[in-house]
């Protein structure tokens, strides 16, 4: 469904020009749970932005096979849940934003979906600052899921959360993947989460993918030294 | 960023201030033999035939000079003869007079000066005074002949004209000559320094032909704000200042200030600019003349330092008391406006053919008395249904010819011709000529009477024509006269020798005998 | 070495740490673990006597015979200088951005033992070398270095001064996994050289990796203490169990 | 400090002056029929036709505005600011007479403001909770809410009229050459008014940034490790100074604007008074010149502050925040 | 809590001043321009609550009317500069790139010239009345507003929620108003409050110098302009009261701005 081929990206000008990504190849199939692991500065977030067409591609291509509006079938959830929500809007307004063009009863639809991510009606009239970290990330996830995308990119969505909440969110994502058949591209620096959640994983280092591994019998096997070091 | 260092600097600064403070106490010990005059405005230039300033009397002298009674007395002229037909004058000059630069003052200089006044290129404001001059002829170095076209009595008055040194204008245009900022005259004081925006310093001229000045320096300090003038007089920073009437009471309390309340021929009035068709109907002008409560103005704004005005020659021997004085009469004013077709509408204002009875009185902002008068008058005009605004602007932002009405101030203590011909004769319109008829006032009868007054040699006849002129002017007013304003000067009490005489416009001429003044404590 | 009894901290009357008692044995690495808001940082602040305005601590914290809560400001200043070494989470902000590293490292290390510039340079360069840091950094400004390098500089200073107790408040959470591992290695090295370590963290992996003893905090209370191996194998408190469960 | 950096700053300064001149020129000359009187000024009546023509030609008055601006710019770059419409003298020489006075007032009051605010701000910021700390912000707001001219009037009536210890206005006494002491005496009141209405503002800014620094992470880290308090303060001040300098730079224009009013009030014959006067008399060439000179002074002050910041802030020096 | 009480106090003081000036027609004891040359310079007391001026006009009535003029000029000009500032800063910040660079260089130049100077340049040409002054202060007072709007827009347009909004296809005007402008309001409000104090300052200062609002319209600045003379002759009440009111007005505006600034800072950085 998603296919990235020979993707490269550089920033800056002249002497300061720095290559952030080079020759990235990856793919995500329908309903797949794919992980990308890398340390800070490995280019994971840039990759996410390029896939989401938030920035232009220097070289290579990103193709996405789905009809209609790209953003109706591919969505992203950002790491910082507070920053992803307009602080002066209520949760209701925030959730309605993607449904601007939807016909029918939007409120009823939101109410129905609310339960699926473990939120309640009382949350609707609160502002982001009045929610807990976990609740915020749920609202965030829900907003992206409201358009029922085929692919959801999660960019470090659990990194800022406490362990127990991380667990809940990860389970929620698993559930969504199962119930809605939504493909997930899960980007994280936390190997253990990725190991636990994903079926296939790419390891990134310094702007390139060094290894791809498929989970067999509940575990991955790596050969590249960097992956080995990461996964010990 | 060391705190101690900062503290050190701070302390040293404090010391500096303290030193300055101590210095203050030491300063008054050395009293200079100089006189500081608070001048109301700075001059554009000092050429007396291009601009009238109150420095002229100090820097320059003319063939004649007004005395205590405002009569012309021979000064540079030693003597003169008049032909029987009263057309030819022969002047003999004093031979001992030198300009400040040491050059002798000769007949050439006198002739040059009068010719310069008459030269259109120079656009001298004095030109009208010499229109009757037919020719000038040098006879000897110190003797010349002046021929008139017609007999012209005030010529001796006019010959108080300051004499310019011819040699200072060799090959230069008078309008742009360096002379205008570095004048050379033959008066008791010579030019010393002009600190633009600040002050003008004159120093005593040691070879002066008259009374040798006792005060070494006269400094004109430019202080446009009357409040600041009064303040500096109070604090002793200046020695003489013309005061606003309201300030007098407070300054009288200061021991070192002596108040001179001097009668003037200086009146204020509203100039109707005839360019504005509002004034074409004489009834409108009369109405606005009636609707001024002069008694209140003299009492409230002038604090009694003045009197109600109705004629430009009220302080003159030819004064006509039997003319319309326009004493405050709103009913009469209303009636006149009704007659002129200005009808009162529901909003309380008058209208004629959808035009509102409305105009603006422009007044120089720096003159508090004029501003107050304008404001008071404008407010009072509401009662006759006129919507009158006041624009108080800086002098140099004012073009009188472009205003609807202007708060004018004029007056002359000298010959009746002075400041009447140049103001009211239609040939003197400032639009077409170089005169002071800013409102383009035009009345054939007035023109004729003014000409007769100036040319007649018979005193009786002159009086008659000026009396008639006053009557005609009252019936067809060019100005709505408001009040004569006394010149109230505050002077340092230690100055002696001040001689009062009826002063001109804005108290000008107060310094007329400054060479006779002296400090009794220095 | 350090023992807290009935320690409570209130901020403007609201309790953030309630009646906690714990013990930090000498020569070992003790980890204090808890989620955000569990009161672990406030506990550290209390024992350093660096509580924010409006906070009040009661109870007792004994360090080598002195009650830290009752010590005078001067005594406390001396203790902080002579007995403790403290590392904070945010290495990038732990240094003054506009002062060169040599000056700051001097203040953190040699300045506390009274060494002069010369011996400081010599000794510091040696330690930096051991931590695989170039001596170049001494002439650089903090913003020119990475978080990992700065955190290592802190370790270098700790190695330099060799204080009795090292307090590290979330020292690894801003670091990448690989750098974090390195850091823990140096921490162990420091411990082996005789310094008792108190490490505050929310990361069970860190605890498992480096600590000997652990203290679990939750909502201002201590719910479980014990040797790391014991607790990980047989957690007694419900919360600890859930915490262990949440590992992936 | 690199040549490139200086060059860049200077280019920026020149750009500022260009924009200022462009805008002022168009504001002044865009109004209908004003361009001619702009040059004749109050002399319009007394000028002869020939002179008017000469002026029209010299300033290209009959050409489009942009050409006039071009003519003006060309002359200005060559150092010729034209001739005052009112006084008929070169604008440059009039400005030259006024400049020293303005610089004196500006310099002296700025000096005291800086010294005073550093001292107040540091002391207050370093002693949280002290009387000074608590009082400074109230003083700062109160003092900056007093219109300077109002304070000036009160001063004049107190010190000049009632007590008679200081001259009420002007730049120096007349008649006697009071020299330096006399100048200082005349300077005290205007400078005090400027200083008093500004010092609180700057002191408070420094106080707040010192406080912010003291509460910052690195101070906590240093204190927890028993770093000498003096060493900490030194670092704190250095850092607190950078925003303070920045603030100084940001506010210099309005500070300068404020001194225009003080100059006018105290008849301090500087640029400010000249500007006000040239507005009143519509002396556009003089006004243009005055504006340009004011702009130049501000640009130069900002440049000086930039240089200071550059030396103080290593981040700037290392190009982290370049631009 | 304490700061909240302060805020309430200053707000009510400002409210009181505003209410009094707005109701000047009701509260004035005499027609503002009524001149009574029989009682010039009457000290405060019976008949004239705050005395009369040099033309026998009632100071109290003029003070209220003058306040109306001064505050109207200030409020309207600030509203004008708010609009200009938001549009200029908004375009510069949202469009970015070359447009932004050019617009910012211009703004930098404008900011580094005392706005009083521009006011003077305008004033020389316009010699404006009350509306003229409003216009002049308005068009020369938007620089800081524009800068704040721009920096807020730049900060906010990269916010994740704006990226999300773009992805959801939210129309641009809605992004501009609902996301960017809406969230720029708190700092914008603070800067506008301070601008208001600045506008009062400029009106008062210019009128005091005699180049502001024409003297026939009573404004606080004009009253002070005249009061210079009156203080010397002992009529302190003519100058003291307008001065005091100006001071209190600016003081309360500044305190309100300060309180909002602090509360904003607390909220954003909590």
Give the domains, in start order, of chain E with CATH numbers: 3-19+60-269 (1.10.3720.10)
Contact between B508 and B58 under an 8 Å Cβ cutoff? The reply is no
**Measured between CB atoms, does C118 come within 8 Å of chain A?**
no
- By the CB < 8 Å criterion, does D218 face chain C? yes
Average pLDDT over residues C198-226: 89
Instruction: List the strands of the sheet with B343-344, edge to edge.
Output: B343-344, B350-352, B355-356
Q: Please state, in angstroms and rounded to a whole number, the distance separating the CA atoms of residues B33 and C240.
A: 100
Q: What is the DSSP string of A50-98?
A: HHTTSS--SEEEEEE--SS-HHHHEEEE-S-TTTTS-TTS-HHHHHHGG
Task: Tell me the percentage of chain D whose pLDDT exceeds 70.
Answer: 85
Sign of CA dihedral B346, B347, B349, B353: negative
The confidence score (pLDDT) of residue D37 equals 53
Nearest residue, CB atoms, D231 vs list C93, C100, C107: C107
Task: List, in sequence order, every residue forming a beta bridge with D185; answer none if it has no partner.
Answer: none
Asked if D12 has any chain E CB less than 8 Å from its own CB, the reply is yes
User: Is the pLDDT confidence value at B11 over 70?
Assistant: no
| Lowest mean pLDDT segment, chosen from B28-32, D96-100, E119-123 | B28-32
* Nearest alpha carbon to residue D171 among D293, D266, D294: D266
Which chain E residues have a beta carbon less than 8 Å from that of D23?
110, 118
- Determine the Cα–Cα distance for residues D24 and D18; give it in Å rounded to an integer: 10
B36 contacts D280? CB cut-off 8 A:
no
Asked if D31's CB is within 8 angstroms of E115's CB, the reply is no
Per residue in B45-69, pLDDT (tens digit) is 889 988 888 888 899 999 999 888 8
**Cβ within 8 Å, pair B196-D174:** no
Question: For residue E42, what is the DSSP state?
Answer: P
Chain C residues lying within 8 Å of A189, measured CB to CB: 176-177
Under the banding of pLDDT at 50, 70 and 90, the label for residue B24 is very low
pLDDT band of residue D178 (cuts 50, 70, 90) is low
Chains with 3 or more CB pairs under 8 A to chain C: A, D
Average pLDDT over every residue of B171-188:
88
Q: pLDDT-derived band of residue D61, with 50, 70 and 90 as boundaries? A: low
Chain E residues lying within 8 Å of A85, measured CB to CB: 161
Q: Which residues of A touch E168 (CB under 8 A)?
A: 71, 97-98, 100, 147
According to DSSP, the residues that pair with B392 across neighbouring strands are: B363
With 60 as the cut, is the pLDDT of residue D110 above it? yes
B7 CB neighbours in chain D (<8 A) are 119
Question: DSSP states of C175-219 as a string?
Answer: S-HHHHHHHHHHHHHHHHTT-EEEEEES-HHHHHHH-SEEEEEET
Q: Could you tell me the pLDDT band of residue B198, with boundaries at 50, 70 and 90? A: confident
Touching E (3+ Cβ pairs <8 A), the chains are A, B, D
Nearest by Cα to A182 from A220, A228, A142, A218: A142
Q: How many CB atoms lie within 10 A of CB A55?
A: 12
Task: With cut-offs at 50, 70 and 90, classify the pLDDT of residue E6.
Answer: confident
pLDDT, residue D321, reads 42
pLDDT at E269: 39
Q: What is the pLDDT of residues C104-155, one digit of tens each?
A: 999 888 888 888 888 999 999 998 988 888 888 898 888 888 888 888 898 8
Q: What is the mean pLDDT of chain B?
A: 86
Angle at B443 between CA B439 and CA B444, to 5 degrees: 145
Which tens digits make up the pLDDT trace of D186-204? 899 999 999 999 999 899 9
Instruction: Tell me the pLDDT tens digit for each residue of D263-277.
Output: 888 888 888 888 888
Give the residue on C whose Cα is nearest the Cα of A226.
C178
For the stretch B381-410, pLDDT in tens is 999 999 998 888 877 778 888 899 999 988
Show residues of chain E in contact with A83, CB under 8 Å.
159-161
pLDDT of the residue at B273: 93
Q: What is the rounded distance in angstroms from the CA atom of residue B153 to the CA atom of residue B87?
A: 10
- D312 in contact with chain C, both atoms CB, cutoff 8 A: yes
- What percent of chain B stands above pLDDT 90? 40
d(CA A203, CA A211): 5
Residue among E122, E211, E231 whose CB faces D157 most closely: E231
Nearest residue on chain D to C84, alpha-carbon basis: D225
Res D36: pLDDT:
52
- Say if residue C192's pLDDT is above 80: yes
pLDDT tens digits for range E47-98: 787 888 888 888 888 889 889 999 999 999 999 999 999 999 999 999 988 9
A-E contacts at Cβ under 8 angstroms: 44
d(CA C31, CA C184): 12
* pLDDT band for position B342 (cuts 50, 70, 90): very high
Measured between CB atoms, does C84 come within 8 Å of chain D?
A: yes
Flag whether residue D150 sits within 8 Å of chain E, measured between CB atoms: yes
- Residue C235's CB is within 10 A of a number of other CB atoms, namely 19
* Contact residues, chain E, for A143 at CB < 8 Å: 164
Q: Report the C-alpha gap between B314 and B312 in whole angstroms.
A: 6
- Specify the pLDDT at position B161: 92
The answer to whether the CB of D285 falls within 8 A of the CB of D80 is no
Confidence of residue B187 (pLDDT cuts 50, 70, 90): very high
Each residue of D3-35: pLDDT tens digit?
888 888 888 888 888 888 888 888 877 655 444
Give the nearest partner residue to E37 out of B231, B244, B297, using CB atoms: B297
The DSSP bridge pattern shows strands A2-11 and A18-28 to be antiparallel
Q: Quick check: B437 pLDDT over 80?
A: yes
Which of A160-169, B164-173, C216-225 comes out lowest in average pLDDT?
A: A160-169
E120 touches chain B (CB under 8 A): no
**How large is the average pLDDT for residues D84-102?**
83
* 3-state DSSP of B21-84: HHHHHHHHHCCCCEEEEEECCCCCCCCCCCCCCCCHHHHCCCCEEECCCCCEEECCEEEEEECC
Lowest-confidence pick of B6-15, C162-171, E245-254? B6-15
pLDDT tens, position by position, for chain A (232 residues)?
A: 888 999 988 887 777 788 888 888 999 998 899 999 888 778 888 898 899 888 888 888 888 887 778 888 888 998 888 888 999 899 999 999 988 877 788 888 898 888 888 888 888 999 998 888 888 988 998 998 888 888 999 988 887 788 788 888 898 899 888 888 889 999 988 888 888 889 999 999 888 898 898 888 878 888 888 888 777 6
Higher pLDDT, B32 or B480: B480
Q: How confident is the model at residue D78 (pLDDT cuts 50, 70, 90)?
A: confident
D294 vs E: CB within 8 A: yes
Neighbours of chain A (3+ CB pairs under 8 A): C, E
Of B20, B176, B397, the CB nearest to D184: B20
ipTM > 0.90 (yes/no): no
Q: Which of E109, E231, E255 sits opposite D153 (nearest CB)?
A: E231
Domains of chain D with CATH codes: 99-280 (1.10.3720.10)
- Exposed / middle / buried, residue D105 (Cβ in 10 Å: 0-12, 13-18, 19+): buried
The per-residue pLDDT for D308 is: 86
Contact predicate E36/E52, CB 8 Å: yes
Note the pLDDT tens digit of each residue in C13-53. Answer: 888 898 889 999 988 999 999 887 788 888 988 888 888 87
Tens digit of pLDDT for each residue in D129-166? 788 888 888 888 898 899 888 888 888 888 877 787 88
Nearest to B20 among D42, D185, D267 (CB): D185
pLDDT attached to residue D320: 47
Cα–Cα distances in angstroms (integers) from residue B110 to residues B54, B98, B137, B183, B186, in the given order: 21, 13, 10, 16, 12
Burial bucket for residue D286 (CB in 10 Å: 0-12, 13-18, 19+): buried
Nearest-Cα residue of chain D relative to residue B238:
D174
Asked if the Cβ–Cβ distance from E224 to D150 is below 8 Å, we say yes
B73, pLDDT greater than 50: yes
Instruction: Verify whether the Cβ–Cβ distance E159 to A147 is below 8 Å.
Output: no
B389: nearest CB among E41, E216, E234: E216
pTM for the complete prediction? 0.81
Q: Which residues of E touch A147 (CB under 8 A)?
A: 168
């Amino acid at each position: 469904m998603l296919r990235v081929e020979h993707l490269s990206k550089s920033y800056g000008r002249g002497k300061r020009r720095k290559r952030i990504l080079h020759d990235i190849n990856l793919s995500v199939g329908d309903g797949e749970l794919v992980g990308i692991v890398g340390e800070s500065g490995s280019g994971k977030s840039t990759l996410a932005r390029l896939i989401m067409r938030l920035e232009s591609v220097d070289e290579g291509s990103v193709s996405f096979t789905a009809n209609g509006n790209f953003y109706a079938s591919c969505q992203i959830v950002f790491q910082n849940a507070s920053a992803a929500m307009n602080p002066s809007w209520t949760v209701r307004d925030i959730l309605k934003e993607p449904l601007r063009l939807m016909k029918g009863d939007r409120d009823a639809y939101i109410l129905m979906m609310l339960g699926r991510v473990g939120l309640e009606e009382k949350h609707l009239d609160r502002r982001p600052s009045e929610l807990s970290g976990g609740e915020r990330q749920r609202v965030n996830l829900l907003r992206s899921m409201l358009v029922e995308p085929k692919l959801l990119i999660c960019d470090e969505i659990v990194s800022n959360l406490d362990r127990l909440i991380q667990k809940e969110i990860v389970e929620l994502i698993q559930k969504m993947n199962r119930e809605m058949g939504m493909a997930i591209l899960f980007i994280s620096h936390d190997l253990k989460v990725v190991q636990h959640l994903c079926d296939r994983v790419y390891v990134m280092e310094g702007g390139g993918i060094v290894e791809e591994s498929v989970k067999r019998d509940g575990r991955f096997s790596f050969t590249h030294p960097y992956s080995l070091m990461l996964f010990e | 960023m060391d705190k101690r260092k900062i503290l050190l600097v701070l302390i040293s600064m404090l010391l500096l201030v303290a030193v300055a403070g101590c210095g203050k106490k030491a300063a008054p010990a050395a009293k200079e033999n100089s006189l500081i005059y608070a001048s109301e405005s700075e001059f554009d230039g000092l050429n007396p035939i291009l601009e009238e300033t109150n420095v002229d009397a100090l820097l320059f002298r003319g063939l004649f000079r007004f005395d205590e009674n405002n009569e012309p007395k021979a000064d540079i002229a030693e003597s003169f003869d008049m032909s029987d037909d009263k057309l030819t004058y022969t002047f003999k000059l004093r031979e001992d007079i030198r300009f400040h630069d040491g050059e002798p003052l000769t007949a050439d200089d006198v002739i040059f000066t009068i010719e310069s006044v008459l030269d259109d290129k120079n656009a001298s404001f004095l030109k009208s005074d010499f229109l009757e001059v037919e020719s000038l002829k040098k006879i000897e170095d110190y003797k010349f002949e002046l021929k008139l076209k017609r007999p012209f009595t005030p010529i001796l008055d006019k010959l108080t004209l300051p004499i310019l040194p011819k040699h200072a204008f060799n090959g230069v245009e008078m309008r742009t000559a360096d002379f205008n900022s570095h004048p050379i005259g033959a008066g008791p004081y010579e030019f010393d320094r002009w600190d633009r925006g600040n002050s003008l310093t004159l120093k005593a001229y040691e070879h002066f032909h008259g009374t040798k000045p006792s005060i070494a320096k006269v400094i004109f300090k430019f202080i446009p704000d009357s409040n600041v003038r009064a303040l500096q007089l109070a604090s002793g920073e200046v020695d003489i200042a013309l005061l606003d009437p309201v300030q007098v009471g407070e300054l009288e309390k200061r021991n070192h200030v002596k108040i001179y309340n001097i009668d003037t021929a200086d009146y204020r009035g509203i100039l109707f600019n005839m360019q504005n068709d509002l004034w074409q109907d004489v009834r409108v002008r009369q109405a606005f003349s009636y609707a001024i409560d002069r008694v209140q103005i003299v009492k409230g704004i002038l604090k009694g330092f003045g009197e109600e005005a109705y004629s430009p020659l009220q302080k003159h021997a030819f004064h006509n008391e039997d003319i319309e004085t326009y004493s405050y009469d709103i009913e009469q004013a209303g009636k006149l406006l009704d007659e002129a077709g200005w009808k009162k509408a529901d909003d309380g204002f008058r209208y004629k053919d959808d035009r509102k009875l409305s105009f603006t009185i422009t007044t120089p902002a720096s003159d508090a008395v004029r501003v107050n008068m304008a404001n008071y008058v404008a407010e009072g005009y509401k009662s006759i249904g006129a919507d009158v605004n006041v624009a108080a602007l800086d002098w140099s932002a004012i073009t009188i010819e472009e205003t609807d009405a202007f708060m004018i101030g004029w007056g002359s203590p000298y010959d009746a011709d002075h400041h009447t011909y140049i103001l009211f004769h239609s040939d003197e319109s400032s639009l077409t000529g170089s005169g002071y008829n800013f409102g383009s006032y035009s009345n054939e009868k007035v023109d004729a009477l003014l000409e007769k007054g100036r040319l007649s040699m018979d005193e009786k006849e002159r009086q008659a024509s000026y009396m008639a002129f006053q009557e005609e002017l009252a019936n067809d007013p060019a100005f709505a006269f408001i009040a004569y304003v006394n010149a109230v000067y505050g002077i340092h009490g230690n100055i002696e020798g001040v001689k009062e005489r009826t002063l001109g416009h804005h108290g000008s001429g107060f310094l007329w005998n400054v060479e006779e003044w002296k400090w009794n404590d220095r | 070495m350090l023992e807290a009894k009935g320690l409570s901290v209130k901020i403007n009357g609201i309790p953030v740490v309630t009646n906690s008692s714990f013990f930090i044995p000498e020569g070992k690495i003790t980890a204090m673990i808890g989620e955000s808001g569990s009161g672990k940082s406030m506990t550290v602040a209390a024992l350093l006597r660096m509580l924010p305005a409006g906070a009040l601590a009661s109870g007792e914290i004994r360090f080598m015979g002195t009650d830290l809560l009752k010590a005078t400001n001067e005594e406390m200043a001396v203790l902080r200088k002579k007995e403790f070494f403290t590392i904070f989470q945010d290495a990038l902000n732990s240094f003054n951005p506009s002062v060169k590293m040599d000056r700051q490292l001097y203040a953190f290390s040699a300045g506390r033992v009274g060494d002069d510039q010369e011996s400081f340079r010599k000794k510091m360069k040696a330690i930096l070398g051991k931590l695989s840091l170039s001596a170049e950094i001494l002439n650089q400004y903090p913003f020119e270095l990475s978080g990992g390098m700065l955190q290592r500089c802190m370790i270098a200073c700790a190695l330099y001064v060799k204080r009795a107790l090292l307090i590290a408040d979330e020292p690894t959470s801003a670091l990448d996994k690989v750098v974090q591992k390195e850091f823990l290695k140096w921490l162990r090295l420091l411990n082996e050289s005789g310094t008792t370590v108190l490490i505050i963290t929310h990361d069970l992996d860190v605890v498992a990796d480096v600590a000997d003893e652990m203290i679990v905090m939750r909502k201002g209370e201590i719910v479980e203490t014990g040797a790391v191996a014991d607790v990980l194998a047989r957690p007694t408190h419900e919360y600890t169990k859930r915490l262990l469960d949440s590992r992936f | 400090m690199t040549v490139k950096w200086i060059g860049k700053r200077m280019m920026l300064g020149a750009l500022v002056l260009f924009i200022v001149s462009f805008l002022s020129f168009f504001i002044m000359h865009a109004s209908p029929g004003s361009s001619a009187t702009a040059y004749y000024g109050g002399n319009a009546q007394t000028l002869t036709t020939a002179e008017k023509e000469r002026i029209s030609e010299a300033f290209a008055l009959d050409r489009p505005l942009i050409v006039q601006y071009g003519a003006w710019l060309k002359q200005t770059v060559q150092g010729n600011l034209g001739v005052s419409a009112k006084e008929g003298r070169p604008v440059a020489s009039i400005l030259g007479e006024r400049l020293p006075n303005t610089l004196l007032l500006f310099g002296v009051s700025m000096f005291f403001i800086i010294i005073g605010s550093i001292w107040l701000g540091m002391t207050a910021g370093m002693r949280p909770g002290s009387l000074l700390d608590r009082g400074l912000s109230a003083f700062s707001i109160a003092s900056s809410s007093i219109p300077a001219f109002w304070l000036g009037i009160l001063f004049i009536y107190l010190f000049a009229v009632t007590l008679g210890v200081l001259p009420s206005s002007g730049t120096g006494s007349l008649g006697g050459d009071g020299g330096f002491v006399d100048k200082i005496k005349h300077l005290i009141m205007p400078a005090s008014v400027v200083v008093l209405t500004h010092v609180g503002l700057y002191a408070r800014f420094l106080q707040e940034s010192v406080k912010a620094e003291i509460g910052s992470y690195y101070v906590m880290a240093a204190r927890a490790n028993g770093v000498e308090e003096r060493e900490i303060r030194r670092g704190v001040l250095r850092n607190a100074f950078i925003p303070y300098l920045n603030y100084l730079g940001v506010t210099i224009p309005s500070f300068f604007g404020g001194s225009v009013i003080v100059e006018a009030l105290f008849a301090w014959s500087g640029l400010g008074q000249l500007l006000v006067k040239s507005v009143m008399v519509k002396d556009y060439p003089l006004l243009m010149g005055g504006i340009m000179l004011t702009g130049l002074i501000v640009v130069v002050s900002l440049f000086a502050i930039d240089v200071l910041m550059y030396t103080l802030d290593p981040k700037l020096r290392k190009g982290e925040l370049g631009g | 809590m304490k700061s909240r009480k302060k805020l309430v106090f200053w707000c009510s003081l400002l409210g009181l001043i505003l209410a009094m000036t707005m109701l000047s027609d009701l509260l004035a004891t005499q027609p503002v321009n009524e001149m009574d040359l029989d009682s010039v310079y009457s000290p405060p007391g019976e008949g004239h609550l705050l005395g009369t001026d040099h033309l026998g006009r009632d100071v109290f009535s003029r003070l209220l009317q003058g306040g109306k003029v001064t505050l109207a000029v200030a409020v309207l000009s600030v509203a004008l500069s708010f609009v200009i500032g938001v549009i200029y800063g908004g375009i510069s910040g949202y469009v970015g790139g070359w447009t932004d660079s050019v617009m910012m260089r211009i703004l930098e130049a404008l900011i580094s010239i005392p706005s009083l100077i521009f006011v003077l340049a305008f004033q020389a040409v316009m010699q404006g009345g009350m509306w003229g002054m409003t216009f002049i202060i308005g068009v020369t007072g938007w620089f800081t507003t524009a800068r704040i709007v721009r920096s807020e827009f730049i900060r906010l347009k990269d916010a994740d929620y704006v990226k999300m909004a773009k992805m959801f296809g939210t129309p641009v005007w809605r992004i501009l108003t609902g996301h960017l402008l809406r969230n720029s309001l708190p700092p914008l409000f603070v800067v506008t409050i301070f601008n208001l104090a600045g506008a009062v300052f400029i009106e008062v200062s210019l009128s005091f110098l005699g180049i502001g609002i024409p003297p026939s319209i009573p404004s606080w600045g004009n009253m002070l302009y005249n009061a210079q003379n009156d203080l010397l002759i002992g009529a302190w009440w003519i100058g003291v009261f307008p001065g005091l009111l100006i001071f209190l007005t600016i003081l309360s505006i500044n305190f309100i701005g300060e309180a909002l600034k602090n509360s904003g800072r607390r909220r954003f950085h909590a």
